[in-house]
């Protein structure tokens, strides 16, 4: 039952979010943390970090989430639920490429969704900050990461690693 | 007999084997760290320049559609390339290959996480990483925001979505669908 629900939630979230890992965060936060209570905010934050550190796309963090909720079967369920929508829609889209690319309606819908995603992400960032900005050093690490990401071309994987070392030393 | 064989040899090759598609994407999935654009340079080198399975134009096409379909653009690009090379089985082979290395790494990390979570040093590291994630999210908001908020209407959509999620706890799925509808109403004639 848990597996079926996990599959349903992750399948729906990944079908609805265009753009990948970060875009799906507001939905994951609402459903898995707030509604179902399967994860804490802290654990969702850990999942993001792990997704960032692992090779490949960030949505691989869903495997960690699935494993946390239902062990190995949960991990496999999460992987299938996450990537099945990509394959299904991708194959359909590949067949009607020209129509999609030139569709004014698709472009208009996406133009409306993108700024909404930005606003929703900011809301989630603040919610995660509530649990992780509890110590001056943590705030410094958070703001430092923001600065590194916006002002340098450093890879996010490296930023996460540096923050982990800084945390082990300072926190 | 000889001429027949020669003609058969002139037929277009049937595309790479499923196993080589899988192995190629396994390699891409193992070594391609970083953002979409960092990963795309790996795709270009491997698929276009080394193996010559697709042209640079075709790759660009796959990237464009990959950004319009659900899920991570880089996985979608792989799906589209695999589909072009070998139909639906090709798309599945590319996806499984690309995702498998991360899957294994995350499984291992997940087990270690459960084991080591209570060690003080690991707790400190996790707290640092948690704080960094807020910073990463902030930078994503900033970099995407700069590109997609290009006027009063898109700005209003961003602020409305923020307020509705942060203060009114609106359903995020409805928010996304509502924003899509608003986009269709606001922007459809211009283009």
Mean pLDDT calculated for residue range A127-134: 90
State the pLDDT at residue B101: 93
Report d(CA B94, CA B74) in Å as an integer: 11
pLDDT in tens, B146-179: 988 999 999 999 999 999 999 998 988 899 899 9
> B-contacting residues of A 39-68, CB under 8 Å?
42, 45-46, 48-61, 63-64, 67-68
Does pLDDT of B100 surpass 50? yes
Band (B38; pLDDT cuts 50, 70, 90): low
Q: Is the pLDDT of residue A35 over 60?
A: yes
**pLDDT level of residue B46 (50, 70, 90 thresholds):** confident
pLDDT of B20? 95
Q: CA–CA distance from B177 to each of B70, B77, B160 (Å)?
A: 14, 24, 14
Smallest CA–CA distance, residue A37 to chain B, in Å, is: 16
- B residues 74-93 lying closer than 8 A (beta carbon) to A: 74-76, 79-80, 83-84, 88, 91-92
Contacts of residue B48, defined as CB under 8 A and 6 or more positions apart, other chains included, come to B54, B55, B56, B59
Read off the pLDDT of each residue in B115-130 and give the average, rounded to a whole number: 89
Contacts of B168 in chain A (CB under 8 A): none
Whole-angstrom Cα distance, residue A125 to residue A114? Answer: 17
Q: Residue B3: is its pLDDT beyond 50? A: no
Proportion of chain A above pLDDT 90, given as a percent: 62
Residue B32, pLDDT > 90, answer no
Query: A167 and chain B: CB distance < 8 Å anywhere?
Result: yes
The CA distance from B172 to A34, in Å, is: 12
Q: How many CB pairs under 8 A join A and B?
A: 374
CB pair distance less than 8 Å for A90 and B162: no
Q: Residue B2: its pLDDT value, please? A: 46
pLDDT at residue B8 is higher than 90: no
Mean pLDDT for chain A? 91
Q: Give the DSSP letter string of A86-131.
A: HHHHHHHHHHTHHHHHH-HHHHHHHHHHHHHHHHHHHHHHHHHHHH
CA A16 to chain centroid, in Å, comes to 13
Residue B35: its pLDDT value, please? 57
**What pLDDT score does A21 carry?**
81
User: What is the reported pTM?
Assistant: 0.82
- Residue B34 clears pLDDT 90, i.e. is over it: no
**What is the distance between the alpha carbons of residues B181 and B124, in angstroms, rounded to a whole number?**
44
Q: Give the CA angle between residues B43, A93, A120 to the nearest 5°.
A: 80
Contact A21, B106 (CB under 8 A): no
- Taking the CB of residue B147, how many other CB atoms lie within 10 A of it? 10
Q: How confident is the model at residue A114 (pLDDT cuts 50, 70, 90)?
A: confident
């Amino acid at each position: 039952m848990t597996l079926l629900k996990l599959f349903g939630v992750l399948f729906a979230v990944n079908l609805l979010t265009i753009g990948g890992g970060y875009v799906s965060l507001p939905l994951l936060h609402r459903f898995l943390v707030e509604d179902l209570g399967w994860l804490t905010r802290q654990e969702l934050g850990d999942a993001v970090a792990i997704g960032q550190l692992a090779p490949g796309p960030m949505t691989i963090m869903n495997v960690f989430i699935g494993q946390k909720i239902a062990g190995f079967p949960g991990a496999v369920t999460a992987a299938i639920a996450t990537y099945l929508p990509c394959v299904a829609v991708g194959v359909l889209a590949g067949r009607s490429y020209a129509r999609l690319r030139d569709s004014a309606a698709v472009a208009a819908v996406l133009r409306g969704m993108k700024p909404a995603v930005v606003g929703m992400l900011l809301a989630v960032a603040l919610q995660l900050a509530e649990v992780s900005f509890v110590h001056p050093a943590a705030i410094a690490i958070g703001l430092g990461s923001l600065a590194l990401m916006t002002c340098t071309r450093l890879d996010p994987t490296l930023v996460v690693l540096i923050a982990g070392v800084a945390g082990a030393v300072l926190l | 007999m000889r001429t027949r064989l020669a003609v058969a040899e002139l037929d277009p090759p049937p595309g790479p084997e499923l196993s080589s598609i899988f192995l190629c994407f396994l390699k891409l999935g193992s070594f391609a760290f970083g953002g979409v654009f960092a990963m795309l340079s790996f795709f270009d080198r491997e698929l276009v320049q080394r193996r010559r399975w697709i042209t640079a134009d075709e790759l660009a096409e796959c990237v464009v559609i990959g950004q319009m379909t659900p899920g991570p653009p880089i996985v979608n690009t792989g799906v589209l390339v695999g589909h072009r090379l070998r139909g639906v089985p090709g798309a599945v082979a590319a996806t499984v290959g690309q995702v498998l290395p991360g899957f294994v790494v995350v499984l291992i990390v997940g087990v270690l996480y459960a084991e080591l979570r209570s060690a003080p040093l690991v707790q400190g590291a996790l707290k640092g990483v948690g704080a960094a994630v807020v910073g990463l999210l902030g930078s994503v908001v900033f970099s995407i925001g700069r590109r997609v908020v290009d006027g009063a209407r898109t700005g209003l959509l961003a602020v409305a979505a923020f307020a509705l999620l942060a203060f009114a706890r609106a359903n995020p799925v409805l928010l996304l669908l509502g924003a899509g509808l608003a986009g269709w109403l606001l922007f459809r004639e211009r283009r």
